[in-house]
Amino acid sequence: MSTKDMMPNFDLFQPSDMGNAFDLLEQYGADAWPLAGGQDSLDWFKDRVKRPVAVIDLAGIPGMNGINETANGIEIGALTTLTEIAESPLIRDSYGVLAEAASRVASPQIRNIGTLGGNICQDVRCWYYRSGIDCYRAGGNTCYADTPEGLNREHCLFEADRCVAVTPSDTAPALVALDATMVIQNTDGMREVAAEDFFIGPDVDIERVTVLEPGDILTSIRIPSTWAGANYYFEKVADRETWDFALVNVAAVLRVSGDTIEGLRVVCGGVQCTPRRLNGVEDIVRGSARDEETIELAAGSAARGATTLNYNGFKIPLMENLVKRAIRDS
């Protein structure tokens, strides 16, 4: 039997309140692993790449799940399952781009257990990194995907900095498009971080994908009513319809008056380590008629500045066509 068939030993804690969870995080420090749905975490443990001393299951903490209306929009507990989000009448009616994104994650079985917080916080999916190879992200001094022999079909077009892996999340681009805010708590209190600033690239910290630090817990996601009821579009292109991660995905929200696009936010996943907001596309389209000339011009700008690797050049026309459809068909 391979050693990768067995998880390493760890202590499992199931705190019943936030205070207890923070005490455990402080006690174990970098050896602690907060657990949400566990779909990504258990893969790490089974492959024996991550070896936490203490796993802290957050599922029993009250208030960490559920979807609630607020005076300014909605608030979603970080442990709310992807199935709940995909099937919520409130989210489907007012924030449909998020419901659609959640419905495209993995398979029904995984969505029943996987959480929104877990989906947006999951680590990159580069197979070199996930196999335990000592790449830059794992503390080494080489990016094996970015070599003449590297297998990098799934990797980035933008903002590579030693690491060329991409964000695997389907819901993250939708949350950035909706101008969501992440609510983070630790022993010092609570802070809010815009979704667009929550994700960080390897140029900031190559060993993290979000601003979360040891001792932090993502407790909820707040979505303002700014884009409630707006036109929306979400599309994910993957090798397989179910389970697979996106080669490229796009999330867009638009406000249209007659034939004029008054406002929009367009975000792509699968093209850099963080969700990529397409500010250039937005600038071209905003205030313009939704006609073929505008759409072609905007789509042509989507991949401006891209740098291809050995095998991912196909992502450029794919990204351009997804943006075209997002503006035309939302």
Residue 3 has pLDDT above 80, yes or no: no
Q: Is residue 53 part of a domain?
A: yes
Q: Is residue 129 part of a domain?
A: no
Residue 138 has pLDDT above 90, yes or no: yes
Q: How many domains, in total, are found in the chain? A: 2
Main-chain phi, psi angles of 71, to 5 degrees:
-65, -25
Task: Give the residue-averaged pLDDT of 227-234.
Answer: 98
Taking only the tens place, the pLDDT of each residue in 184-200 is 999 999 999 999 999 99
Which pair of structure tokens corresponds to residue 273?
């380590």
**Helix 292-301 vs helix 315-329: angle between axes, to the nearest 10 degrees?**
150
> Do both 267 and 319 map to the same domain?
yes
Which pair of structure tokens corresponds to residue 148?
């003449």
Residue 273 has pLDDT above 90, yes or no: yes
- Say what the pLDDT of residue 5 is: 60
**Helix or strand (DSSP H, E) at 249:** strand 248-257
CATH number of the domain within which 41 lies: 3.30.43.10
> Do both 57 and 73 map to the same domain?
no
Taking only the tens place, the pLDDT of each residue in 255-269 is 999 989 999 999 999
| pLDDT bracket for residue 296 (50, 70, 90) | very high
> Do both 190 and 324 map to the same domain?
yes
The answer to whether 120 and 209 are in contact (CB under 8 A) is: no
> Do both 26 and 118 map to the same domain?
no
Q: Is residue 161 part of a domain?
A: no
Task: Give the residue-averaged pLDDT of 240-267.
Answer: 95
Task: Give the residue-averaged pLDDT of 22-40.
Answer: 93
Q: Is residue 143 part of a domain?
A: no
Domain containing 181: what range? 67-122+166-329
Q: Is residue 149 part of a domain?
A: no
- Say what the pLDDT of residue 242 is: 84
Residue 1 has pLDDT above 50, yes or no: no
Task: Give the residue-averaged pLDDT of 79-102.
Answer: 98
Q: pTM of the prediction? A: 0.96
Task: Give the residue-averaged pLDDT of 128-141.
Answer: 93
Q: Is residue 138 part of a domain?
A: no
Residue where a domain stops, chosen among 61, 78, 93: 61
Nearest to 124 by CA among 156, 147, 93: 156
Q: Is residue 158 part of a domain?
A: no
Point out which residues pair with 220 in neighbouring strands. Answer: 77, 183
Residue where a domain stops, chosen among 61, 78, 101: 61
Task: Give the residue-averaged pLDDT of 36-46.
Answer: 87
CATH number of the domain within which 266 lies: 3.30.465.10
Instruction: Compute the Cα dihedral for 123, 276, 96, 193 and give only its sign.
Output: positive
Secondary structure (3-state) at 96 = helix
Nearest to 214 by CA among 11, 53, 22: 22
| pLDDT bracket for residue 4 (50, 70, 90) | low
Q: Is residue 251 part of a domain?
A: yes
Secondary structure (3-state) at 108 = helix
Helix (H) and strand (E) counts in the chain: 13, 12
CA distance 175 to 97: 9
> Do both 43 and 73 map to the same domain?
no
CA distance 15 to 35: 11
Percent of the chain residues topping a pLDDT of 90: 91
Residue where a domain stops, chosen among 61, 79, 103: 61
| Stronger pLDDT, 252 or 2, i.e. the higher one | 252
Task: Give the residue-averaged pLDDT of 201-219.
Answer: 96
- Say what the pLDDT of residue 165 is: 98
The answer to whether 137 and 163 are in contact (CB under 8 A) is: yes
Residue 2 has pLDDT above 70, yes or no: no
Chain centroid to Cα 267, Å, comes to: 11
- Say what the pLDDT of residue 67 is: 98
